[in-house]
Amino acid sequence: MTLENLNSNKSFGGWHKQYSHPSDSAGCVMRFAIYLPPQVANGQKVPVLYWLSGLTCTDENFMQKAGAHRVAAELGMAIVAPDTSPRGEDVADNESYDLGQGAGFYVNATESPWERHYRMYDYVLNELPALIESVFPVTDQRSIAGHSMGGHGALVLALRNPERYQSVSAFSPISNPVNCPWGRKAFTAYLGRDTARWVDYDASVLMREARQFVPALVDQGDADSFLAEQLHPEALETAAAISGYPLTLNLREGYDHSYYFIASFIEEHLRFHGRYLG
């Protein structure tokens, strides 16, 4: 597979690098960013935290705004941040911010015109880790995290594939997409009108029915303007109580949906994952 290095920046003794590559899953050129901590310079292989971003974001938002590099360098943890969707002139799009490019929702689309490129679930679960582990000095120990739409994606991937991840965390996740406007719009477009097919991508439904567990941490700001209509963390809490899922859910007073919130608590999330990645 051909990787093109787009840029490199030294950060806290390690390196932040951005790459593009042709993707079989997405059928287009995809982009990702990776932070490699200083330990890799000494020949050490390190575990990986995959970060999934939210609506309208790219691979750049988290790497530039979250302030995660310092703690990742201390812990000896690589961070990989893929883009949020396929992109390109021949990739289907929509004029709305919450559908199309920048809004892949981490599903495998089945409906036209989306099914040709919008296979972010397969890309994040299989293609990207296989690429990362074949090219970079990392182990096969993985955790996953994300924000908003990316929090939804991280939870769904971990809940459906508990054998693949050591831990999962999310900031302000879309916790019950089958029951919110963002989720219903995206799922109707990408998956069709048969709502029975939607539940495979609903974290609250999956958590309620879970029999294998991955340690989970969720932070939600109580001043988030999307909280009541779109996010529904209470559905996750109810689901965890039913299945006995090991979920820690923190409601943070005064915090909103922004990267100010993520930057305030990212160290806690990285140390949480560090406990399980070893």
Residues labelled catalytic:
148, 224, 257
Alpha helices in 76-148 (DSSP H): 120-122, 128-135
- Both tokens of 62, joined, read 């988290």
Interatomic CA distance for residues 121 and 110, integer angstroms: 12
Interatomic CA distance for residues 176 and 60, integer angstroms: 26
Cβ atoms 109, 100 nearer than 8 A: no
Name, in order, each residue with C-beta under 8 angstroms of 41's C-beta and a sequence gap of 6 or more.
none
Q: Please choose, from the candidates 226, 82, 247, 65, the residue with its C-alpha nearest in 3D space to the C-alpha of residue 168.
A: 247
- Identity at 109, one-letter amino acid code: A
**Phi and psi angles of residue 81, each rounded to the nearest 5 degrees, phi first:** -125, 105
| DSSP helix/strand/coil, 187 | helix
Interatomic CA distance for residues 85 and 117, integer angstroms: 9
Q: Please choose, from the candidates 167, 171, 160, the residue with its C-alpha nearest in 3D space to the C-alpha of residue 258.
A: 171
Q: Please choose, from the candidates 200, 194, 105, 106, the residue with its C-alpha nearest in 3D space to the C-alpha of residue 159.
A: 200
